[in-house]
A and B are shown apart, each in its own frame.
Chain A
């Protein structure tokens, strides 16, 4: 096999989405839960990212981090630092971060106006 490394190893031009300034909101329930999670330490941040995969093509990725290697926008909402990778900004603009307090299927939820559909568990969207 000729892997092209010696000759024309030109990667295909990848889709580069437009970076948008993300507006997001956090529900009262989510603010309470984040307050419990962060305590008084505001040096940590909530990273809201998107990964490929899941039932519908994209999956939300929520992490509590100090910083990120990804190129991120940082917004302060309700006193919390929220990091959004620029590569995913077009998918996350306008989202609301909510928290559902239920025994089954509870936890943080993303309400995303950009999503055409989402899977049953709410972690994946397209």
Chain B
């Protein structure tokens, strides 16, 4: 099973009874109601619906594990911590204690959207063909550095990634994470703008895989050897 290190990630532990509702109010997907041993991705947005970070949230029973993109970490904390107010939310950074890897293509038989711990490795299946693996550093995950092979696979399967399609300041509808915007969950930060885009069908873009010869270089977000990911109008 191909596995690459997600070395530019951070891992945090969130404790407290208000964690799910707090995250739900500040991000695009429906986080509230996330059951133990389930995982979801959600974009933390500012009031202009611009991405502060795309986080992977694992409900591990006693606490949540929230994984995100290290370059967005400070901005994420700066955005969320003033909003905790009287909420029962406590956050610890456990990045130094754990390694995180992305497993793709040939994966385990864990149900999509579930997570479980097997041989000291917490595995969360994000979608059909991709998982995130988290393990204490002592376990030593067997993975390569982030390789071009992974990006070639992403291009083929139209998987957006941090630093390529998903950038701070992007709008979820413009970077290939359209399905991570819940359409009926109610108010959350940035929701008015996304709803307006959707109802007026304006500015919504999708990811496409095109041969390099067909792709407009200005619209290419990930360039592969023969094909590229491009962000185009719907």
Answer whether residue B98 sits at the interface, using C-beta atoms and an 8 A cutoff: yes
Q: Which of A37-65 contact B (CB under 8 A)?
A: 49-59
The tally of residues in B whose CB lies under 8 Å from a CB in A reads: 45
A-B interface contact total, Cβ < 8 Å: 107
Option from A15, A52, A57, A123 in Cβ contact (under 8 Å) with B87: A52
Who on chain B is nearest to A123 by CB? B187
A52 and B25 contacting across the interface, CB-CB below 8 Å:
yes
Q: A11-B91, A12-B77 are in contact. Are A56 and B98 (CB under 8 A)?
A: no
Rounded to whole Å, the gap between the CB of A47 and the closest CB of chain B is: 11
Contact of B25 among A3, A12, A51, A120 (CB under 8 A): A51
Which one of A8, A51, A56, A58 lies within 8 Å of B97 (CB-CB)?
Answer: A8
Q: How far is the CA of A56 from the CA of B48 in the complex (A)?
A: 8
Q: Which of A7, A57, A59, A70 is most buried by chain B, counting CB atoms within 10 A of its CB? A: A57
Q: How far is the CB of A13 from chain B (nearest CB, A)?
A: 9
Give B49-90 as 1s and 0s: 1 = Cβ < 8 Å from A's Cβ atoms.
Answer: 000000000001001010000000000010011111111001
Quick one: closest B residue to A86, CB to CB?
A: B86
Q: Does A93 contact B (CB under 8 A)?
A: no
> Could you show 19 A-B contacts with beta carbons less than 8 Å apart?
A1-B98, A1-B136, A2-B97, A2-B98, A2-B137, A2-B138, A3-B94, A7-B97, A12-B77, A12-B93, A14-B84, A17-B82, A52-B22, A52-B84, A53-B25, A70-B86, A85-B86, A123-B187, A126-B47
Known contacts A2-B136, A15-B84; 13 further A-B pairs (Cβ under 8 A) = A1-B121, A1-B135, A2-B94, A3-B60, A3-B94, A9-B13, A11-B91, A53-B21, A55-B190, A55-B191, A55-B192, A120-B192, A126-B47
